[in-house]
Amino acid sequence: MPNYQTKAQRKDRYEKLARAEGDQCIVCKIEKGKRTGPPRKKLIIEHADNDKKNWAWGNIHLACYSCNKKMESWPVHAKIQKLQAYADQLERQRQREGLPTRGSVFKEETEYQGASTEIQLNKIYHTSWLKYVISRVKGEGAVEKKILILAAAKKAGCSKQTSTNYLEVETSDAPNSILREMVDDDGNKVIIFRENS
């Protein structure tokens, strides 16, 4: 990944780390055997080499604020070694439990690394866009199409046109499509779940 990370890229990287490490502080999990993380404690992305521009997959981990502060006093070489050992241990635990691991999540990510910037960004935007749309339709039952397009674009950080394109695909007659468009009693186009989804 490039040195500069957009807000959407940082959010995507955080979500991948959370999936790979269990949305918990890696240090608390290994050293104390307890889960520390949301909703009680906010986690931050910890750069093992203390270089905030190094977003390499092996260099970043999730840590709580207190562990982050504690690690600031560690020599960089020792910090890198310790975090790598913790990551390896957590990876083995998660594999035994059948949970996503850094390896499985990294594999998903590398499938898109040779792709154009447009395709890489599309993967980032579409994931958060779809998550928002599904939760909104689930919560409200039916959402006006124009409102959903704009709200989902804002939430995902993509353009209105991209949001429109995503909605067109997700409401198509494709076999795996779970959304559909209909006209409500007031004549507004609304998005709802398909009956069989």
Distance CA 137, CA 167 (A): 12
* Per-residue model confidence (pLDDT) at position 79: 92
CB 134 within 8 A of CB 119: no
- What the block records as the tokens of 105 is 């999540």
Q: How far apart are CA 33 and CA 155, in angstroms?
A: 35
Global model pTM greater than 0.75: no
Over residues 121-178, the pLDDT tens digits come to 777 788 888 889 999 999 999 999 999 999 999 988 888 999 999 999 889 887 777 8
**Across residues 71-95, what is the average pLDDT?**
88
Q: Is the pLDDT of residue 109 over 70?
A: no
Q: Could you tell me which CATH number the domain at 117-193 has? A: 1.10.10
Percent of the chain with pLDDT over 90: 31
Distance CA 126, CA 142 (A): 20
Quickly count: other Cβ atoms within 10 Å of residue 134's Cβ. Answer: 15
Query: Both tokens of residue 160?
Result: 């209105």
Closest CA to 48 of 67, 28, 35, 29: 67
User: What gap in Å lies between CA 23 and CA 104, rounded to an integer?
Assistant: 16
Query: Could you tell me the residue ranges of all domains in the chain?
Result: 7-110, 117-193
Nearest Cα to Cα of residue 87 among 52, 36, 46: 46
